[in-house]
Amino acid sequence: MTEEQIEYRVTAEGVKKAFGDNQVLKGVSFKVEQGTATTIIGPSGSGKTTLLRTLNALDRADAGVIRVDDVELDFSKPQPKSEVRRFQSRSGFVFQSHNLFPHKTVLENITEGPLIVQKRPKDVVISEAVELLEQVGLAAKRDQYPYQLSGGQQQRVGIARALALKPKLVLFDEPTSALDPELVGEVLSVIKDLAVEGWTLVIVTHEIQFAKQVSHQVLFTDQGIILERGTPDEVIGDPKEERTRQFLQRILNPL
């Protein structure tokens, strides 16, 4: 398949972002093919989460062009709020710390966005939410509140909530970092299923073996740039850059 025939869900070109004097992203460019999973790995402070958040404009880039599905924003110039909202509506975001509404039931957490933001029919939204709960293995928890759930269950509700918006792209910000080790597997299993089903995913993760299993593309970031990119076999199995090798050695073979 030629470059022209590939359908990209995400295209980022020259993305820059600074917080004060700290230049976190230094002109990042990459593409994500439709129906594939891309993982972003790298040391703390390398810009992984900031890069992910620019894809939903949770952090507005200072410069660069990002296209998600059919909406493109040029962050070097002011953007109308309506266009930013269109851009944000193309993706769903799964946070590290669940971010569920504590006073709402599991079902209410999932239906909030489709009902309030998208103004879709209530009976349809509830039916789809129940299906999503079955998909993430939590159908029996629909009427419980977040405090009644384990961390892994809360994160699976967070995933269902993101999917309920029918996004073209699902973004995961270290979805297992806040979980106890024994709960990590249940969340990673759900994400693997989404990858198999053909959702377009971008995942910031420190779970290197998971990245190796789930990814079509791996991006290794360091000091605000993408230092290396390729398939898992290329980046994780046979990295070209010494910095990538050092990072993986430290992660995979800790003292």
Total number of residues shown for the chain: 255
Which residue type does 252 have?
A: L
For the chain, the structural domain boundaries read 3-90+168-252, 97-166
Backbone phi, then psi, for 12, in 5-degree steps?
Answer: -120, 130
Handedness of CA 113, 114, 116, 117 (dihedral sign): positive
Average pLDDT over residues 86-99: 90
Looking at residue 15, what is its pLDDT?
97
Looking at residue 27, what is its pLDDT?
96
22-31 pLDDT per residue, tens: 999 999 999 9
CATH number for the domain formed by residue range(s) 3-90+168-252: 3.40.50.300
Q: What is the mean pLDDT of the chain?
A: 93
Q: What is the pTM of this model?
A: 0.93
Looking at residue 5, what is its pLDDT?
65
Looking at residue 181, what is its pLDDT?
84
35-68 pLDDT per residue, tens: 999 999 999 999 999 999 999 999 999 999 999 9
Distant-in-sequence, close-in-space partners of 53: CB < 8 Å, separation ≥ 6: 59, 173
